[in-house]
Amino acid sequence: MPDTRQKAPFVMNMKAGTYAWCRCGQSNRQPYCDGSHRGTGKTPIVVEIEEDREVAWCGCKESGDAPFCDGSHERL
């Protein structure tokens, strides 16, 4: 499977709702889970966005504040 991680966050305007962030880096729907994690031992992080807002989803999958970017990509 291709590794679709990137060295930058996915900055997006999000509507309030529930989202499953891809933790494994294999999803073809980054930054969201598409089920590609099966067999990796990793599962998505499900997060509730309570109000419409801008979100910086972690793209490198190394954030200490996953699923959100904490700047870890700057050290890769």
Of 59, 70, 71, the residue nearest 4 (C-alpha):
59
- Residues 73 and 50: their CA atoms lie apart, in Å, by 26
Tokens of 12: 């997006």
- Residues 32 and 76: their CA atoms lie apart, in Å, by 22
Q: What is the pLDDT of residue 2?
A: 52
* Local mean pLDDT, 10-residue blocks, the chain (76 residues): 79 98 94 94 96 97 96 91
- Residues 62 and 50: their CA atoms lie apart, in Å, by 24
**Domain locations along the chain:** 10-75
